[in-house]
Structure 1
């Protein structure tokens, strides 16, 4: 024992310190899976850049279905990292039809669903995105069709039509271009720049 130290005080203080450290470890535990995923994504991106100069996103035409591809192909690196970094975020991949409230438009577009990526965060908020093939001329009728269902539509450069609708805490965002339809429905969770990042990744300008 170091001179001048009281053992009756040192032992309780040491035990208290161990308790504090244990508490911090317990609080940090939920973030470990997200941290592992984040580091894995960063390493994969870094390896791709080292091998080929800069990572080239998979062209939209070559994105497969939920049966032979996965949602990672749909998302740009930054957005993917932001979503997977969230504590206790769950991703469910399927080929369910677009979750849009414009059912008549969905029936008219007759989408061939490639994949649906349904995210749920720790607070119960959800973001569900579906990528589908549609008729090449769909963009010419999508704006009017969505507008008649209460959506606000905008024509973007490159023959891209984007239609949005907000009802309470639910936001729908639909983009149709080049024979593809990207449909997103977000409820109680609205990641910043979500659809903008997907549009830039799928239809770069």
Structure 2
């Protein structure tokens, strides 16, 4: 084996022996604690596993209607909206941004309104509101007369109309009204995903 210039064997050997002795001493001191450490880690992992609720879907919808903007969006849709470049979200109790007279006709009690805006002029405004029971039929008649395509999606009334860059969607069932106005921006499955967070149970 080639020798490296400047390295002294009579210093290297004692240092190596001392290092080996230190490592051995540390191992000897650690050995009694190994069973306890293994037991601790095992107990921690078992506790974490048994404390997790059983969920079939990692992004399962809540059994109660959404109470704020974060609740309204499944995780994937929320991430898509939040990571949109130069986007701003505001939550308030503003009336639906509908271009129809429905907001005055139904006299809703707004739970929350979520408005997303980008610097390039795109926007989405979605309102979840409470209305009088039985308002769906009246809303369907009014919206149909204004050019909306209406029909039943399960038990709820679903109405939709596109005019240029603006798409307007309304869903009503019982006392719940979900209204969305999208300007030059319509994420895939937006209406269905938000409706799944309002019309639950």
Distance 1:122 1:108 in 2: 33
Aligned to 2:153: 156
**Post-superposition CA distance 1:11-52 (Å, at most 9, x none):** xxxxxxxxxxxxxxxxxxxxxxxxxxxxxxxxxxxx9xx832
Q: Which runs of 5+ in 1 are unaligned?
A: 1-46, 65-69
Report the alpha carbon displacement of residue 57 of structure 1 after superposing the two structures with TM: 3.1
Q: Which runs of 5+ in 2 are unaligned?
A: 1-47
Report the alpha carbon displacement of residue 60 of structure 1 after superposing the two structures with TM: 4.2
Report the alpha carbon displacement of residue 90 of structure 1 after superposing the two structures with TM: 0.9
Aligned to 1:125: 122
- The alignment's TM-score, normalised by the length of structure 2, stands at 0.67
Higher RCO (Cα < 8 Å, 6 or more apart): 2
- The alignment's TM-score, normalised by the length of structure 1, stands at 0.66
Contact 1:59 1:202 in 2 (8 A): no
Taking the TM superposition and a 5 Å limit, the aligned residue runs for 1:35-74 are 51-54=52-55, 56-61=60-65, 63-64=66-67, 70-74=68-72
Structure 1 stretches of 4+ moved >6 Å: none
Structure 1 counterpart of 2:181, from 151, 167, 185: 185
Distance 1:188 1:163 in 2: 19
Larger Rg: 2
Distance 1:76 1:123 in 2: 25
